[in-house]
Amino acid sequence: MIKTVDLHKSFIIEGQPEPLHVLKGVNEHIEKGEVVSIIGPSGGGKSTFLRCLNLLEVPEKGQIFFEGVDITAKGIDIDVHRQKMGMVFQHFNVFPHLSVAENITLAPVLTKKKTQAEADEMAKELLARVGLLDKWSEHPGRLSGGQKQRLAIVRALAMEPDVMLFDEPTSALDPEMVGEVLDVIKDLVKSGMTCVIVTHEMGFCREVSDRVLFMDGGNIAEEGTPEQVFNHPQNPRTAEFLSKVLY
Amino acid sequence: MSFFSNIVKIMSKYWRVFLIRGVGYTLALTSITVFFGAILGIFICLARMSKSKVLNSIALNLGEIVRGTPMLLQLYVFYLGLPRLFPGIPTFVSVSIGFILNSACYVSEVFRSGIQAVDKGQTEAARSLGLSGKQTMTKIVLPQAIKNILPALGNEFITITKDTSLASTFFVGEVMTSYLIVKGNTFLTMECLFIVAVIYYVMTLILNRVVGRMERRMRTSD
Ligand SMILES: Nc1ncnc2c1ncn2[C@@H]1O[C@H](COP(=O)(O)OP(=O)(O)O)[C@@H](O)[C@H]1O
Ligand SMILES: [Mg+2]
């Protein structure tokens, strides 16, 4: 579904003579239906890698194939491909000037995937699914963090994506709201959605992942099933990281 | 007190010059400046934010020239220069154009900072849904930026109201020109200055109220 070949990304930082080399040739293949979690120390490049997948960050070298198409090729209309990749951000990024319903229906209607009536119908179903139907005409400013993130998830789902990308979806939440958001993601996983999830929730990661990537220093330092990575890490850096986060 | 009885006398004879002509011209000049300045400001802002290096540097340099020279000098340039290009152009128009260009440069920065103040995450979320750059700008960024921009535009209106007094140099007819006319007829300089000061003060007081109310409404509609 998504394949990256020798992905490099550097950031030019003002006042620094050398660009910061963040991704150092990442090769990865995410299969259809797979749930892949990315763990690793802060600054290791997890977000940058995830954001490269839908070209929110443009890599300076390497290729990204999405459903067989090289989306890094010249002349590609990235908007069309992004419509098939949902993304959920750490800080929700719900649209504060739109109602909850409009947050969901805006993109499907603007991209001509749906008429307003069809989009409304779908928004109703999605909101009911995450327990927010009663917030239909509220503005997001009135929602709690957990509710905002659930809204952000269904906003992405309304585009009927083939893959969902999550960047630390619960890191900005108060502890009591983490569960409600993780439950929504678990449901999504059950429905067979392909997911790439950057997370620090190790229990959750273990439970839902088919595969875990440990990212450190701009590369995938280790990967395997949750059982392999959590119980028998091969790379000492993985072991060290896990010992820190798993007490 | 002869000072205040003089004021009463001046006003009973010249109130039309101050309150109809003067205030009328001031508000007209201000409205024209802010309206067309905002429109031109949008284009300067677009040029400033565009990827084209040429447009970018034109907008940047224009802004620096306008901010780096006195407004009165700019007005002189238009007052003297435009009639050479367009003979017979009325002074009011030449001077207005000077004000418009000046205001447009300031306002373009107001637009730019209002747009940049919108969280980058909003753009990222919109683009990640597959919206185009243009759709993102019109449906997500601008509706939020307007809340930053409108109050600042209101303040620009107040600033311009006072700045239009510079137009009296060219006898355009606004409140400060009224002062020159009435002072010339009555020789009561201090009394006339006092009247003009009160007029400006009341005008900006009212405008401040309006802008304040607008700001409050913007905030509550979040
Ligand atoms: N837009 C950016 N500009 C400059 N540096 C950045 C930018 N985004 C990320 N970085 C840097 O890249 C490195 C990797 O960041 P990131 O991918 O966010 O790591 P992680 O998500 O694993 O914590 C960090 O050192 C971070 O400061
Ligand atoms: Mg991150």
**CA B132–ligand 2 middle distance (angstroms):** 25
pLDDT at B217: 82
Residue with CA at minimum distance from ligand 1 atom 25: A43
CA distance A222 to A204: 19
Residue B128, chain A, CB below 8 Å: the answer is: yes
| Ligand nearest, relative to CA of residue A20 | 1
How does B199-217 read in b/e, with b if 16+ C-beta sit within 10 Å?
bbeebbeebeeebeeebee
Residue A198: is its pLDDT beyond 70?
yes
pLDDT at B148: 87
Interface of A with B (CB under 8 A): 54, 56, 79-87, 89, 91, 93-97, 106-107, 110-111, 139, 141, 152, 155-156, 159
Residue with CA at minimum distance from ligand 1 atom 26: A43
Residue B163: closest CA among B90, B83, B106: B106
Distances (CA, A) of A73 to A59, A61, A78, A80, A115: 11, 11, 10, 14, 32
CATH 1.10.3720.10 given to domain B2-221: yes
Question: With contacts defined as CB-CB under 8 Å, which chain A residues touch B132?
Answer: 79
Contact in structure between A47 and A198 (CB atoms under 8 Å): yes
Q: ipTM for the complex?
A: 0.94
Cα-flanking dihedrals φ and ψ of residue A197, to 5°?
Answer: -130, 115
Q: What is the mean pLDDT of chain B?
A: 94
Instruction: Kindly state the DSSP code that residue A57 receives in the 8-state scheme.
Output: S
| Residues within 5 A (CB) of ion ligand 2 | A 47
With pLDDT > 70 as the criterion, what percentage of chain A qualifies? 100
Contact in structure between B91 and B67 (CB atoms under 8 Å): no
Give the model's confidence band at A2: pLDDT under 50 very low, under 70 low, under 90 confident, else very high.
very high
pLDDT at B219: 75
Q: Please identify every stretch of chain B with a pLDDT value under 50, giving residue numbers as ranges.
A: none
Paired strand residues for A38: A198, A213
Q: For strands A20-30 and A194-198, give the pairing.
A: unpaired
Instruction: Kindly state the DSSP code that residue A87 receives in the 8-state scheme.
Output: E
To test the contact with chain B by mutation, choose from A76, A77, A82, A93 the residue with the greatest count of B C-beta atoms within 10 A, namely A93
Contact in structure between B199 and B175 (CB atoms under 8 Å): yes
pLDDT at A136: 96
Q: What is the mean pLDDT of chain A?
A: 96
Question: With contacts defined as CB-CB under 8 Å, which chain B residues touch A95?
Answer: 122, 125-126, 140
Q: Is residue A196 in contact with ligand 1, taking CB distance under 6 Å?
A: no
Distances (CA, A) of A89 to A53, A122, A139, A152, A196: 14, 22, 19, 8, 12
Q: Do A95 and B121 touch (CB under 8 A)?
A: no
Is the C-alpha dihedral spanning B62, B64, B66, B72 positive or negative?
Answer: negative
Residue B120 tokens, joined: 């980058």
Any residues with CB less than 8 A from the CB of A161 and at least 6 apart, and which?
A83, A84, A85, A86
Is the C-alpha dihedral spanning B122, B128, B129, B130 positive or negative?
Answer: positive
Name the 3-class secondary structure at A199.
Answer: coil
pTM: 0.87
Give the model's confidence band at A182: pLDDT under 50 very low, under 70 low, under 90 confident, else very high.
very high
Residue A210: is its pLDDT beyond 70?
yes
Question: With contacts defined as CB-CB under 8 Å, which chain A residues touch B222?
Answer: 96-97, 139, 141
Any residues with CB less than 8 A from the CB of B171 and at least 6 apart, and which?
B91, B177, B180
Summarised one tens digit per residue, pLDDT across range A105-130 is 999 999 999 999 999 999 999 999 99
Domain definitions of chain B by residue range: 2-221
pLDDT at A247: 61
Partner residue opposite B124 with nearest CB, options A83, A89, A139: A89
pLDDT at B222: 56
Q: Is residue A20 in contact with ligand 1, taking CB distance under 6 Å?
A: yes
Q: Is residue A45 in contact with ligand 1, taking CB distance under 6 Å?
A: yes
The helix or strand, by DSSP H or E, that contains position B12, with its residue range, turns out to be: helix B2-15
How does B26-48 read in b/e, with b if 16+ C-beta sit within 10 Å?
bbbbbebbbebbbebbeebbebb
Residue A12 tokens, joined: 């030019």
CA distance B220 to B86: 48
Summarised one tens digit per residue, pLDDT across range B157-200 is 999 999 999 999 999 999 999 999 999 999 999 999 999 999 99
Residue A92: is its pLDDT beyond 70?
yes
CA distance B97 to B34: 11
